[in-house]
Amino acid sequence: MVRFRRTFIGVLGVDLSNKRISVTGGAGFLGHFVLEALAKRGCRDIFVPRQRDYDLTTEEGTRRFYSDARPEVVIHLAAEVGGIGANQDNPGRYFFANMAMSLHLIEQARICGIDKFVQTGTICAYPCHTPVPFLEENLWEGYPEVTNAPYGIAKKAAMVMLDGYRRQYALDSAYLLPVNLYGPRDNFDLHSSHVIPALVRKCVSACDDGVDHIECWGTGSASREFLYVEDAAEGIVRATEVMEDPIPVNLGTCMEITIKDLVELIARLTGFEGEIRWDSSKPDGQPRRCLDTRRAKELFDWEARVGFEEGLRNTIDWYRSNKDSID
């Protein structure tokens, strides 16, 4: 088991406004809101590497990124990820891409002598049968749920690398474990999206097309916890300001809901009144997910603020306003 020192630099933290900051994945769903949170703090010197310009799964692409951006702080959000189906189809790619990005980015951070490296991990790194609520100390108590284990282990390996680099090279870093995110600008592709945007799209499309039923994977018995994307972005920026060690820190709401109840809630909020059909031949994934988030409150005074129904309504409204350009 990896053991971490519990050191941090106080509630106020460092002033990021005069730092050169690079945000990998800054053009993505979470990245958009992290950039907004940084802008609110007066940050202006922000570089977002685009995949078409920098292949961060390669040493050459990562070296060019550091040479061009000259960052003092790197917030690494970029990932190759998807729902259960996408994880089943791409286990090798998801392990390689996520491991390679972290490997090269952290090593180049050391070589270039940056001030801080912030890594977003994944709740998929927790063991399949972790006691609920998930405590950060439980990360090493078993193997992750098999459908997303390659992705989860790749992300967890980055935490181990950061711990080693902190101890050997004094590289300041932070490591965050956001629970399932949702909100406006999410990925609504039915194959690669996570559960909330997929359900929103299914229900809205059924309403628009007059369809009398929707189909959902599994039995609906598994539970999940969801975090509104703006809350997650604020947590990441707060950790960037405050943390020095890659102590794993959960970001969540401490509220779980079964997938069955989630489907019924989204159906109600979208106005879908048809039948919900469950395909029990498809996997449910990890049985339960619910986080203990006391560490985030203790270390950098963060807690989720957006209520679940409020966040769902915002997500549904955004999708309805933008679905024609998405489809």
Q: Which residues are catalytic?
A: 151
Token pair listed for 196: 């909330």
String of DSSP letters for 188-230 = --TTTS-HHHHHHHHHHHHHHHT-SEEEEES-S--EE-EEEHH
* Closest C-alpha to 79, from 219, 204, 200, 194: 194
Does residue 248 contact residue 121 with C-beta atoms inside 8 Å?
yes
User: Which DSSP symbol is given to 291?
Assistant: B
Alpha-carbon dihedral angle through residues 313, 317, 319, 322, given to the nearest 10 degrees? -160
Residue in the structure block whose two tokens are 């401490």: 254
Q: What angle do CA 197, 186, 161 make, to 5 degrees?
A: 110
Residue in the structure block whose two tokens are 């405050």: 242
Given the DSSP bridges, would you call strands 226-228 and 180-182 parallel, antiparallel or unpaired?
Answer: parallel
User: Which DSSP symbol is given to 129?
Assistant: T
Say how far apart CA 317 and CA 288 lie, in whole Å: 28
Residue 5: φ, ψ to 5°: -75, 145
Say how far apart CA 165 and CA 107 lie, in whole Å: 9
